[in-house]
Amino acid sequence: MKKGILFIGHGSRLNHNKEVIEAQAEALKERTGVPVWTAYNETTEPPVDSAVEIMVGSGIEEIIAIPFFIASGLHITRDIPRKLGIPEGSPGGKTTVAGKDVTIHMEQPFGEDPNLTDILEERIAEVCGKGEPSIVVIGHGSRLGYNKEVVKTNAERLSERGYSNVYYGFNEFNSPSIEDAMYDAVKSGADEIAVLPMFIASGAHLAEEIPEKLGIPMNSGGGVSVLYGREVKIHYAIPVGNDPRLVDVLVKKLEKYGI
């Protein structure tokens, strides 16, 4: 059967997510030699179901769907499978698209891979140099527990690598909140904090909402913030999604499909 890769992003009203998805999809195509299409769960074009139809129309009979997400959640367990025409929460199955039988495989997000912790560690060096700041790892949050577990795991790995005063928090749905994590860091005596977003790309959350919670300018790399009665220097790192090592993780996932 003719195989194709469907590379799925979240989508955003800003263009950053699409730029990262398109760049990583192109890198994956170059590495594998397999045709790669991109699609988005919401907001950005093309949507997942339309991309599937285009792939099948071009002769693809076996689709490997790769959600370029940090962690699972309702989008992964419910929304995207529905759009792919496979059972919710399943690893894939057979479906019919435009009258043609198609096999679809659904891969899982990459957030538990140790490469992601490596990337976070490099972000600390990038924003702080040789300093020893407190660290706050932040995630989006989810109504399901997957995002919390992935963020917590990566924070714990940073602690195991010798970083002291590592905290984690979430923008919504989960606790502790970002505000709670920053409170704990400041009250522990931190006067310098590296904030590490475990997000694919910038967007409204990272560019607008979270800077407001941190007390730094929007669309900035940080600044001096007055938090809980103290001045604190905030280093605000960039998201992880554009790192080329993530393609290595995806290539490894594809080996089971003979790619």
pLDDT tens, position by position, 36-56:
999 999 999 999 999 999 999
Q: What is the pLDDT of residues 222-231, one digit of tens each?
A: 999 999 999 9
Kindly state the tokens that stand for 29.
Answer: 């195509």
What is the model's pLDDT at position 252?
96
Last residue of a domain, which of 76, 109, 142? 109
On whether both 121 and 57 belong to a single domain, the answer is no
For residue 255, being part of any structural domain is answered with: no
Q: Distances from the Cα of 99 to the Cαs of 53, 67, 96, in angstroms? A: 10, 25, 6
Of these residues, 10, 16, 205, 235, which one is catalytic? 10
Other C-beta atoms within 10 Å of 48: how many? 24
For residue 259, being part of any structural domain is answered with: no
On whether both 120 and 229 belong to a single domain, the answer is yes
Q: pTM of the entire structure?
A: 0.94
For residue 135, being part of any structural domain is answered with: yes
Interior CA angle at 219 toward 216 and 225, to 5°? 5
What is the model's pLDDT at position 157?
98
Query: Which residues span the domain enclosing 223?
Result: 114-236
Kindly state the tokens that stand for 2.
Answer: 């003719």
What is the model's pLDDT at position 111?
96
On whether both 12 and 104 belong to a single domain, the answer is yes
Those residues of the chain that have pLDDT short of 50 are none
> Is 205 assigned a catalytic role?
no
Q: Collapsing DSSP states into helix, strand and coil, what is residue 173? A: coil
What is the model's pLDDT at position 210?
98
What is the model's pLDDT at position 205?
93
Side chain identity, residue 182: M
Q: The domain spanning residue 170 has which CATH number?
A: 3.40.50.1400
On whether both 198 and 129 belong to a single domain, the answer is yes
On whether both 54 and 24 belong to a single domain, the answer is yes
| 258 secondary structure, DSSP code | T
